[in-house]
Amino acid sequence: MSGRPLLVGLLLSLLLPVPAAAQLGEIRIGAIGSYVAADAYRAGAGITLGYAPARIAYMGVRWIYHFGSTEPRSDDTGTYEVTNRAQLFGADLGVEFPLGAMELVVGGTLGAVRFSQRTEPASSSSSGSETSIATGFVAAPMAMLHIRVGPMLLAPQVTWYFAGTPDLRWPVDDSGPAVSLSVIIPIETDRIRY
C-alpha cells in the first residue's frame, strides 16, 4: 500500500475550513532561525515581535544576526582570511489569509542590513588585520505560514533579500534566497463577546 492516500488525507485535513474563534487581534512574540544562501548571511538567529489586527493583516519587527562565512582572498598585498557577517533590522507588513487550520501571510520586510567584514592575514607576509562596517537598505518579499501547534505557532517562511551593495574592501554577495522558521507565542488581545 502506498503512502499516497495518507498524504492526501493529511493535506485535506490541514486545508479544510475549520471553525474560527471570534478573535480580533493577536500579539506574536518569537524566536527565529534563518538561513540565507548569500555568503554575508548564511545561518542566523534572532527575535520577532508582531501584531495581527483582526487576523487579516500582519505587522511586526525582526532582528536576525547572521553568522556569515569565512573564505580566503588574495590581492597584491597578500593572502587573507575574510569573514563576512550581517545583521538584519526589519519591519514586516503583510496580509493574512486563513488556510484551513493555518494562516498564510504574504507581504514583505523593509529595513536595514549591517554588514561586518573582518580581514585577517593568512601569512606573515600579509599586512595587518582590519574590520569594516557598512549599512544598506534591504527589501525582502516573503510568504509565511502560521501553523498552530497547541498554544504555540510554528512559522516557516521563504523570502528573497534584495540588499544594497555594501562599500567594503572585498566584494560580498549581499542578496539571495532565505528560509526561516519561527517559534511564536501568540497572545490574544481582543475577542468578540456575545
- Among residues 64, 68, 59, the alpha carbon closest in space to that of 144 is found at 59
| CA distances for 149 relative to 18, 101, 152, 176, angstroms | 15, 10, 5, 30
pTM for this entry: 0.81
**Which residues, 6+ apart, have CB-to-CB distance to 11 below 8 Å?**
none
- Among residues 23, 22, 16, the alpha carbon closest in space to that of 100 is found at 16
| CA distances for 191 relative to 21, 95, 185, 194, angstroms | 8, 20, 17, 10
Torsion angles phi and psi, residue 128, rounded to 5: -65, 175
DSSP states of 52-91 = EETTTEEEEEEEEEEEEEEEEEEETTEEEEEEEEEEEEEE
- DSSP-assigned beta bridge partners for residue 142: 107, 159
Collapsed DSSP state (helix, strand, coil) of residue 65: strand
Q: How many residues does the chain have?
A: 194
What are the pLDDT tens digits along the chain (194 aa)? 567 887 777 666 666 555 555 557 889 999 999 999 888 899 999 999 999 987 789 999 999 999 999 999 888 888 889 999 999 999 999 999 988 878 899 999 999 999 999 998 887 666 678 899 999 999 999 999 999 898 999 999 999 999 888 888 888 888 899 999 999 999 988 765 54
Q: Say what the pLDDT of residue 98 is.
A: 86
Domains located in the chain, CATH noted: 21-191 (2.40.160.20)
Q: Using CB atoms within 10 A of its CB, is residue 188 exposed (0-12), middle (13-18) or buried (19+)?
A: exposed
C-alpha–C-alpha distance, residues 56 and 105, integer Å: 9
Q: Say what the pLDDT of residue 56 is.
A: 85
Q: Say what the pLDDT of residue 166 is.
A: 85
Cell numbers that stand for 103 in this block? 494562516
Provide the residue type at 134 as one letter.
A
- Among residues 104, 21, 32, the alpha carbon closest in space to that of 66 is found at 32
Q: Say what the pLDDT of residue 12 is.
A: 63
Which 8-state DSSP code applies to residue 21?
Answer: P
